[in-house]
Amino acid sequence: MTGRFKILVADDELIVRESLVAWLKKGGYQVDAASGGGEALESLEKSAYDLLFLDIKMPDMNGIDVLRVVKQRYPGTMVVMITAYGSVESAVEAMKLGANDYLMKPFEPEQLALLVEKLLQHKKLIDENILLREQMATAAVERYQDMIGASPAMQTLFEMVEKVAAVDSPVLIKGETGTGKELVAKAIHARSARRYGPFIAINCGAFTESLLESELFGHEVGSFTGAVKAKKGRLELVRGGTLFLDEVGEIPMKMQVDLLRVLEERRIHRVGGTRDIPVDFRLISATHRDLTKAMEAGHFRRDFYFRLNVLELEVPPLRARREDIPILADFFLRRFRKETNKPVESLDKKAVELLCAYDWPGNVRELENAVERAVVLAKGRILTEDDFAFLKRTVGTVEPQSLEDMERLHIQRILNLCRGNISQAARILKINRTTLHSKIKRYGLTGSA
């Protein structure tokens, strides 16, 4: 029952150390020993301890100095100072600095047993308290549905979501890749009257034209080679709920007409079918593209655009709400700590500064990946600037020397932005796919970062 508590004994005298470790082990505690202050701090850096027995007089580092560091860096660890007979003054000083108790060598057996039991009970209560406070903190103002943000930009967005959810009109969500457009769509659905119906999402950029048509409208038997069974489309399946069309800018022109008709007539035909099927859904679409430019270029229908864009929401990029970066980083850290079971506790000041200074072209998704990577590879309990060193090496931060370098970096940046989607990247770069492929091969680029 006591096995879950971890205790560290720091004393330079081998016999004292061994004796205390042996006694604590008989209590079923997990016990480690350190022969000096420096070694104790190294152990605390590597893993979390519930209780630390700390000798005041140690040759390498005074116990009082170790206590100061422990109380600053690891406030969750309870500390009992060990003193020799006649050094009560130091013990008093230690208590003022935040030590939980002190013992004079040799201890009364009853005193030691009671002290350990009392402190570990106290520690258990503190841990429960911290857990509750963490749960409360994430449930507080900065959290709305599954979105996190205390910045004015996000607070405005949350207010807009609330207003938009109250009506049934189509919504167009704009925002860069990785800003959380789907989360906004889900929040609208969850706050709307359609919340008991399904939320069905489809990424329009992930399908070929014929597949997208079949996915949306469904098909009848024999409508094309391989259609051996009739299949309901998502427009049919979403009955009573919300349909989320992600990357709506990728929908081919022909299908834009079909969808426009569905929005106006509220009925569909399956591919290869003639029967009218009534549909009932709310449409939310999202894009990271500038659809007005696409309209001017003739890639997007004006009437379809106005049908989608009855209500418009814009999700701000992460660089426009830098004050949310520490909250988000902390949220992801706690999530990955739980998932990876690694004892990473927090980010230090410099790491937070680095994260806040970085531009995050991939937005919240990129931040999430960066924190996950740092947690997985972390060696200590506190994430430092070094754990995020890879951000400094990210493409784009190196100054290119030649025109060729510039082209290579630019193509890689666009590929990252499009998450490896060649067609999309080729469109943005205004070159054809074959040219893009040959450049990727020539520069040895990767599909995505």
Partner 1 sequence: MVGDGEALAPEGLQATIGVVPMGDVGEVAVRIVAAHLQTVLGLAVDILERRPVSDRCYVPDRRQYDAAKLIAALKECSASWPYLKIVAVLSVDLGVPILRFVFGEAEMGGRCAVVSGYRLRRNEDGTDAGLEVYYERLAKVALHETAHTLSLFHCDDPRCLMHFAASTKHLDRIRLFFCARCAFLLKKTVQTLLESHGP
Interface contacts to partner 1, rule CB under 8 A: 1-2, 13, 15-16, 18-20, 22-23, 25-28, 105-110, 112-113
Residue in this structure with the two tokens 């520069």, named with its chain if needed: 443
3-state SS, residue 103 = strand
- Give buried/exposed letters for 131-150 (b at 16+ CB in 10 A, else e): eeeeeeeeeeebbbeebbbb
- Is residue 191 within 8 Å of residue 181, measured between CB atoms? no
Identify which of residues 113 and 130 has a Cβ nearer to partner 1 in the complex.
Answer: 113
| Minimum distance of partner 1 from residue 5's CB (angstroms) | 12
Q: Are strands 218-219 and 231-232 parallel, antiparallel or unpaired?
A: antiparallel
- The least CB distance from residue 31 to partner 1, in Å, is 11
Question: Residue 221 carries which side chain, given as an amino acid letter?
Answer: V
85 or 196: CB nearest partner 1: 85
Q: Nearest distance from residue 23's CB to partner 1, in Å?
A: 7
Question: Per the structure block, which two tokens stand in for 258?
Answer: 């079909």
Which CB sits closer to partner 1, 15 or 136?
A: 15
Of 104 and 445, the one with the shorter C-beta distance to partner 1 is: 104
Shortest distance, CB of residue 88 to partner 1, whole angstroms?
Answer: 17
Long-range contacts of 12-18 (CB under 8 A, 24+ apart): 12/36, 12/55, 12/57, 12/58, 12/59, 12/60, 13/55, 16/55, 16/82, 16/105
Query: From the CB of 63, what's the least distance to partner 1, in Å?
Result: 16
CB of 109 to partner 1, least distance (A): 4
- CB 105 to partner 1: min, Å: 7
Contact between 326 and 355 under an 8 Å Cβ cutoff? The reply is yes
* Distance in Å, CB of 108 to partner 1, minimum: 5
Q: Say which DSSP state 360 is in.
A: -
Using the minimum distance from each CB to partner 1, give the nearer residue, 32 or 280: 32
Residue 437 gets the label, from left (phi > 0), alpha (psi -120 to 50) or beta, of alpha
Q: Given the complex with partner 1, which of 28 and 152 has the nearer CB atom?
A: 28
Beta strands in 288-414 (DSSP E): 311-314, 346-347, 382-383
For partner 1, the closer of residues 13 and 372 by Cβ is 13
**Shortest CA distance to 204 belongs to which of 170, 254, 244, 176?**
244
| 9/351 with CB nearer partner 1 | 9
Nearer to partner 1, 106 or 152 (CB): 106
DSSP characters over 222-283: TSSTT--S-EE-HHHHTTTEEEEEETGGGS-HHHHHHHHHHHHH-EE--BT----EE--EEE
Question: Shortest approach of partner 1 to residue 396 CB, angstroms?
Answer: 57
Answer for the pair 50, 78: CB distance below 8 angstroms, yes or no.
yes
